[in-house]
Structure 1
C-alpha cells in the first residue's frame, strides 16, 4: 500500500539515460536508422511518441511503403532499396503477404526489440531541447503519458526523424516550409502560389463485407454534400485504405500546428464519403458492407524541411547528377499535390518521373548550423520540388540508414556529422554502407580486407543465355513488348529467333533499343528497326540487327504492338533477365509515355515496365551466340544487384545442386562470411493492401551449406528468404578452401548468387 499526505506540489518521476546516439521519431526512417547504428556497435535510444513503430506505415495510418520501384510503374529496374529496409520488407512479405498492417507493426517492433544496443521508448514525446552552446545539443526532455515519466536523454549525437523536426526546430536549426520560387534554384517545376504551398494530410478507412445488410448513420460532423469533393465520381465501394490516398487536406494551413484542425476536416470527409457510398443508392454492392477501421491520426506528407550543406533540387533528380558523397538513391516521381487537396478542382497529384534513379548526397542528411544533429526522413535538405520525390517512405528510410552508419563512424573517429563529409571519410562511409547491403548508384564496394578478392574462384557450372524455351502460354501483342538482355561493350547483337502466331497476313515491327545512360533502363534510343512480313499462322522469325554496343548495357528487343499477333512466353526465370511492356499504370501517372505540355524541366519518354508475378515471364527466344555474362567472377565485383550488367553468378539451369569453391594457396583464418542472394529488387514489396504471389522471392536460394577443405560441413541453412545472410563462427576456422553448396528451389529458376565475402 502507498499512502502520501497532501502536499503543495509533486515532481514527475524522472529517469535519465545516456547513449551514443538519440534518435527522435520511430517512423520507418527512425527505426531503420536506429537498427543500422545499433548493429554498427553504438548505443542508441529510439524515442517514439506513438504506441507502435512505423509512422505512416504503421497500423495507425496504413500507408504502403514505396520508394524507387514506384509500384513497378516506372523505368527504374531492380531499384528496391537495400539494407535494413529491404530486410524488413522481405520479413513482412514472408509473414504477411496479405498486407495486414497489424502484422507489419509486429515485424517492426520485433526488429527493434532484438537489438541489444537499442533502448526503445514508446508513447514518449520529446518536448524540450537543451544546448551546451549555440550550435550543440546536449540533451532532450521527453514525457511518457503511459507511465507518467519524464526522461532526460543525453548523447553526443542526435538524429531528428520526427517528421516535423521537433528537436531540429527546438534547437534552432535552419529550416524551410513551403515552396521556393522558380528563380532560387532554377527549378522549372516550382509551383506558383496559386498551385499551393504544401502537401496535406490524409486519413484512410477500411471496409468489410459482413454478408448481411448493415446500415450506417453518419455522425453529425460528416460531410453532407459530396459534390464539395470535385472528384466524387471516382469513389467506388471497392477502394479502401491508401488506395484513396487523394483524401487529402491541409496544404493551405500550418501542417504542424494546425494538425488537429486538419484531422477533424479529414474525419468529416471520410465519414461523408462512406455516407455517400452507403446511403446514396449508387452503390448497391455496399449494402452488406461496414466500416472496419478509420484512422485516428492523419498521415502527414509535408511540414518543415531542414537545411544541410547541400540542398537537393529538381535538376539533381531529372538530370541524375553525380555527387562525390552519394550515399543513397531515390526514384519516386516528383510528386506534388494541390494545396486544397480533396477539395481542389485539379488532379490529386502531378507526377513527373526521371529516366532512372538519382543519387542522394550525404550533405543533405545533417543540419548546416547545429553541429551534432543528423536529419532523416522527409525533413532532409531538399527543395519543395525535390521533396516531392525524396519524401516517400522507402527513400526516407534508405537515407536514414546512412545516418545510422554515419553516427557510428562519427562516434568511432570522434567526428561531427559535417566533418564526415570530407572525401576520405566519405569513402569509408560508402564502403561500410555497401557492406551491409546499401546499393549506391555509380559505386562499387572496394574492401581490401575481403579474402575472396585473393581467392581462386570456380563453380560447378555457369549459365549461358542461349534460349528462353517456348514452354509458356501465348499472349496477344495488344501492347508493345520487349525482352531485356545484357551485353558487354564491343559485342555484336546476337541473332534472335522467336515464335509468333498471326491471325492474318500482317507485319511485325521489331526494334533494338537502349538507354542514353548505360545504367538506366529507359529504351529511348532506337539502334535498329526491322519490318517483318508474316503470313497467317504459327511461325518462327529470325532477327539479326547487325549492330554492336559501345558499353556494358542492357538492350531491349522490342516487338511493337499488333493485336493480330501472338507471341509465346517462357516459364524459365533468370536473375537479371526480364521482359517489359509499354503499358499504362495510372496509379503512378504512367500513361505509356511521359509528355510534358510545357517546359517544366522534365523529359519526355516512354514507360516500359514488367508485369507483376505470377505474370512477368520472359519472351521465348533463341539467342545465338549465347550471352555469357553470368560467370562466377561476378560474386566479387562489388555490386549486388543488376545494373547495366547482371552482376550475378548463375548456375546452369540443369544444375540442381551447384557449388561455388574458393581456394587459397595458404591456410586462411576466417571468422565471418557474408552472402548476398537475389530477392528480386524489381519487386516493390508493398506492405499493406496489395497481396504478393509468394512469400519467398523465386530467385532466392533457400537451402545451402558450407564445407571446408576436408569436406567437413561448417554451416547449414534451411529456409532462407533474405537478401543478406551472415555466417559468424564462434571460433575462427582454418582452411585452404571453402565450398558453398546451393540447392535449387524452383525447377524453372536457375540458382544465383550475387556476392560472397570472407573476413578474418
Structure 2
C-alpha cells in the first residue's frame, strides 16, 4: 500500500532520460520507414509517437489508404510502386489483409517496429520541448506520456522531425513556410490565388454497415441541419464509406495547427448531418437497416508547416521530371491541390495535374537549412505549396523517409552531419545502400562493384522468347482504345498477328507509339499508323511497322477505339508486359486525356492505364521477330524492376524445372545472398478499404531452392510472397557456383527474377 501525505511542494512526474543514436519524432508512415531502415543498419533508434497506434493518417484512427506514384493505377507511371521498407509493409499487409481492414494494418505496422531490436518505441508520448546545445544543434527533446504519467528526456546526436506539424523543428527555431507561394516567387504557374486558398484542410471519414433489422437514427443537436450547405451533397452515396469521402474536408481558411480542434468539430457536424440526410431525408432507398459503425475521432491533416531545407522542390521539378545528382527517391502522385473552403466550396474537391512520368526527389530537401543535426521527413519537407501537392502522400513520404533513416546510419557510422552526406563518397554510399534494399532510384542502379555476380557468369535453363502471347483467353471490346505495352529492341521492324471478331465489315486502326522520354510510359510519340479492313466475324489479321524505336524501350502496339471490334486476349501473364487502355479513372482526375488551361505549366497528354486484376489480360498476338528481353544477362545489371527494359530473367513456361546458375572461375566467399522477385510494382496495394483480388501477386515466385557447387542446400523457401528475400550467413559460404532452382508461380505465369545480389 502506498500512502503519501500532503506536501506543499510541487510534485514532479516520473522522469526517464534516454541516450541513443537517432531520435525520430512522429510515428506515421514516414517515421516508421525511417526507424526500420536505421535500425536495420545497427543504429539505436527511439521512435516517439503521440498517438496509441502507428501509421498516422494510415492508422485505424484516420483510415486513409496509402498511395503514391501508382495513383490507383490511374496515371502513366508504370511499375512505380515505391520499393524498400514501404513495399515490404504493403506486400505484408496485402498477404494478411487483402480486404483492407485498418485495424489489421495497425498490427502489421506495430509488428514491424517491435521486431527491430534497435528500436525503442514510445507510444502515447508527445514531444513538447527541445533543448539545444548551441544555436544550430539539438541536444535533446522532452516528451510526456499521459498513459504512464512519465516524462522522457531523449538525447541523441541526430534527430528527424516526422511529426506532421514540425514540433521539433519549430521549437528549435528552424525557418518554415505555411501557405502558398505566389506565381512570381518560383515561376510556378499553378500557384493558387487567395480565392482558391493557400492551405489544404483536414478530412474525417466514417464507416457504415447493414444490420439484419431496422435501425433508427436520431442525430445529435450539433449535426448539420441543411444538407444543401454542402454544394456537392448529391455526390453522397449511401454505401460509400471511409476515404471515399476524402472530400469531407474543412479548415483551409484556418490555422491548421492551432485550430485543429475547431476544425474537428466542424467535420463531426458534417458527418453526423450527412448520416441524418442518408437515413432520414427519404432521398435514399433501402437504408432502413443501415447503421453508423465508426466515425473518426482524429482528423486526417494534409498541410501545415513546411520547413526550409537545402533545396526546395517546386512545380517545374515535378512536371518536367527534373533529375538531381542527390536523388534518393521518386514521386509520381499528381500535383493535387484542394480549395481551402473544402466541403463548403462550390469548386471541385481537388484540382489534380499529372506529370508524364515519375520524377526524382533530392536528398537536400530532407536536410534542415538551419539546424545541423536535424532531418525532415513526411509532409513537412522542403517543398513549395504546389510541389507539396504531390510529395505529401504517404507512400511517397515513407519511401523518402527510408533515405533519411539510411542517411542517419551513414552519419552515425562516419561521425558526420546530415549536410556532409552530400560529399560524393558518402552520397554514392547512401544511394547504393538504398538501392541494395530496393529503393530503385531512377537511373541509378546498384553499383556493379557491389555484386559478386558481376565477376561471374550467369546462365539459365531457359529464357522466354516472346514470339506468341497465346490466343487462349476471352475477348476485349474496343469500345475503349487498347494497347499492348512491349519492350522492343532498337532499330527492329516487327510484325504482329492478332485475332479479332468484327460485328460487321469495318476497319481496324493500329498504331505504333512510344514515349519521348525512353524511361516513361506516356505514348506521346506516334511512329506509324496502319488501317486494316475487316470482314464480319472472327479472323486473324497481320500487320507490320516500318518504323522502330531508336533505343531499347517500351512501345505501345495500339488499337484505336471501335466498339464493333473485339480483340482476343490471353490468360498468360509475364513480368514486364501488360495491356493498357485509354481509359478513365475519375478518382485521380483522369478523363482519358489531360487538357490543362494554357499558361498553367502543365502538359497535355493522354492516359493509357492498366485494368485491375482479374481483368487487364494481355492482348493475344504473334510477334516476329520474337522479343528477347528476358534473358539471364539481366541478372546483375543493378535494376530490380522494369525501367526502360524488363530487367528480368523470365523462364520459358515449358521449362518444367527452371533454374539460374552463377559460376565463378575461382572460389568466392558469400556472406549474403539477396533475391529480388516480382510482386508487381504496377499494383498500388492500397492499405485499407479498397481490397485486392489476391493475397499474393501472380508473378511472385513462391517456391525455390539455393544450392552451392556441391549440391548443398544453402536456403529453401516455400510459399514466398515478399519482394526481397535475404539470407545472411554467420560463416561465409565458399563456392564456385550458385544454383537457384525455382518453380513457376502458376500454369499461366512463368518464373521470373529481377536481380540476385551476392556479397
Deviation at 1:191, TM superposition (A): 0.3
1:98-247 alignment runs, 5 A limit: 98-247=99-248
Deviates more, 1:580-589 or 1:651-660: 651-660
Structure 1 distance, partners of 2:450, 2:420, is: 25
Offset of 1:11 from its aligned partner? 1.0
Once the two structures are TM-superposed, the CA of residue 470 in structure 1 deviates from its matched residue by 0.7
Give the distance between the partners of 2:410 and 2:490, measured in 1 at CA. 38
Q: Distance in 2 between matches of 1:285 and 1:370?
A: 58
- Do 1:325 and 1:423's aligned partners in 2 also have CA atoms closer than 8 Å? no
Per-residue deviation, residues 372-403 of structure 1 (Å, max 9, x unmatched): 00000011100000000000000011110000
> Is residue 2:515 matched to residue 1:515?
yes
Deviation at 1:419, TM superposition (A): 1.1
Match of 2:667 in 1: 667
Query: Matches of 1:236 and 1:456 in 2, distance apart?
Result: 59
Deviations 1:664-720 (A, max 9, x none): 111111121011000000000001111111111110001111111111212111111
Post-superposition Cα deviations, 1:301-354, rounded to whole Å, max 9, x if no partner, equal 000000101000000000001100000000000000000000001000000000
Q: Which runs of 5+ in 2 are unaligned?
A: none
In terms of mean alpha carbon deviation, does 42-51 or 650-659 score higher? 650-659
The equivalent of 1:84 in structure 2 is: 85
Question: Structure 2: how far apart are the matches of 1:341 and 1:449?
Answer: 50
Q: Distance in 2 between matches of 1:659 and 1:398?
A: 32
The answer to whether the 8 Å contact 2:203/2:301 transfers is yes
The range that moved more, 425-434 or 145-154, is: 425-434
Work out the CA distance in 1 between the residues paired with 2:259 and 2:652: 61
Report the 3-state secondary structure (helix = DSSP H, G, I; strand = E; otherwise coil) of the residue aligned with 1:618.
Answer: coil
- 2:382, 2:722 → 1: CA distance? 32
Alignment partner, residue 364 of structure 2: 363
Q: Report the equivalent of 1:571.
A: 571
Quote the offset at 1:284 in angstroms. Answer: 2.1
Query: What's 1:616 paired with?
Result: 616
SS at structure 2 position matched to 1:227: helix
Q: Which residue of 2 aligns with 1:743?
A: 743
Q: Which residue of 1 aligns with 2:678?
A: 678
Specify the alignment match of 2:20 in structure 1.
Answer: 19
1:553 aligned partner:
553
Aligned to 1:648: 648
- Distance in 1 between the 2:656 and 2:99 partners? 31
- 1:397 maps to 398
Scaled by the length of structure 2, the TM-score of the pair is 0.99
Give 1:383-532 correspondences, 5 Å limit: 383-490=384-491, 492-532=492-532
Contact 1:324/1:423 (8 A) holds in 2: no
8 A contact 1:128–1:170 mirrored in 2: yes
- Contact 1:139 1:153 (8 Å CA) reproduced: yes
* Structure 1 position 653, deviation (Å): 1.2
* Contact 1:12/1:149 (<8 A) preserved: yes
Q: Is the 8 A contact 1:237 1:285 kept in 2?
A: no
Cα separation, 2, equivalents of 1:330 and 1:704: 33
Give runs of aligned pairs for residues 684-723 of structure 1, distance below 5 A: 684-723=684-723
TM-score under structure 1 normalisation?
Answer: 0.99
d(CA) in 1 for partners of 2:150 and 2:656? 59
Taking the TM superposition and a 5 Å limit, the aligned residue runs for 1:287-306 are 287-306=288-307
Aligned pairs for 1:318-397 (under 5 A) are 318-397=319-398
CA drift of 1:588 comes to: 0.2
SS in 2 for 1:570: coil
**Deviation of residue 423 (structure 1)?**
2.6
Q: Which residue of 2 aligns with 1:594?
A: 594
Instruction: Tell me the equivalent position of 1:317.
Output: 318
Judge conservation of contact 1:431–1:447 (CA < 8 Å) in 2.
Answer: no
Aligned residues: 758
SS in 1 for 2:23: strand
User: Which residue of structure 2 aligns with residue 541 of structure 1?
Assistant: 541
In the alignment, the residues of structure 1 paired with residue 598 and residue 145 of structure 2 have an alpha-carbon distance, to the nearest angstrom, of 52
How far the C-alpha of 1:211 sits from its partner, in A, is 1.9
Task: Give CA deviations for 1:235-255 in whole Å, capped at 9, x if unaligned.
Answer: 110110000100000000000
The CA distance in 1 between the partners of 2:33 and 2:70, in whole Å, is: 19
Do 2:458 and 2:635's aligned partners in 1 also have CA atoms closer than 8 Å?
A: no
In structure 1, how many angstroms separate the alpha carbons of the residues matched to 2:265 and 2:592?
Answer: 38
Deviation beyond 2 Å, 4+ runs, structure 1 = none
Q: Distance in 2 between matches of 1:296 and 1:193?
A: 30
CA distance in 1, matches of 2:384, 2:450: 40
Please name the residue that 1:308 is paired with: 309
Distance (whole Å) between structure 1 residues aligned to residue 338 and residue 139 of structure 2: 38
* Pairwise CA RMSD: 0.8
Distance 1:539 1:625 in 2: 22
Q: State the shift of 1:448 in Å.
A: 1.7
Aligned-partner Cα distance in 1 for 2:453–2:16:
48
Task: After TM superposition, give the deviation of residue 428 of structure 1 in Å.
Answer: 1.1
2:653–2:744 CA contact under 8 A, matched in 1 = no
CA displacement at 1:169 relative to structure 2: 0.5
- Measured in 1, the distance between the counterparts of 2:551 and 2:457 equals 27
Listed as ranges, the matches of 1:630-641 within 5 Å are 630-641=630-641
Q: Distance in 2 between matches of 1:602 and 1:384?
A: 16
CA contact (8 A) 2:38 2:409 kept: yes
The more displaced of 457-466 and 444-453 is: 444-453
Contact preservation (8 Å) 1:444, 1:639: yes
List per-residue Cα deviations over 1:174-230 (Å, max 9, x = no partner): 100000000000000000111101000011000010021101010110000000000
1:758 corresponds in structure 2 to 758
Contact 1:486 1:554 survives alignment (8 Å): yes
Partner in structure 2 of residue 41 of structure 1? 42
